[in-house]
Amino acid sequence: MTRRILLPLAAIALTPVAASTPAAWSAMHIAARRACIAAAGLRAPSVSNVLDFSDTSAKTALLVRGTYTQRFMKGASGTFLCLYDRRTKKAEAMEAPGFVFDEAAAAKP
């Protein structure tokens, strides 16, 4: 009886776990950039490199920098911190004026 229980458990434990491929991560990063650009709503956006949190939170963070679209802002530039939820595929962006944005390292959309 013990053997009937242990053999299936051993088979499950020895089954390799499929990790995401580099192509899958790349596609997710592209989706995160697009969603964050839309959430920030800036003109001529530049996007930082992504920062992937663990699967526990399933979030990806990045900075979006561009020009405000509202007339009263008179072409002022702004920086937004964006969190992309990998589970729901939704982005939330918030103004982050104190964050430094490295234009040289920014990825163009």
- Map tokens 């969603």 to a residue: 35
Q: What is the pLDDT of residue 104?
A: 61
Question: For position 4, what pLDDT does the model report?
Answer: 57
The predicted structure's pLDDT at residue 17: 44
pLDDT score for 15: 44
The structural domains of the chain, with segments of one domain joined by +, span: 41-109
Q: Please report, in tens digits, the pLDDT of each residue of the chain (109 residues total).
A: 555 554 454 444 444 444 589 999 999 999 999 999 999 999 999 999 999 999 899 999 999 999 999 899 898 999 999 999 999 999 999 999 888 777 666 655 5
Sequence length of the chain is 109
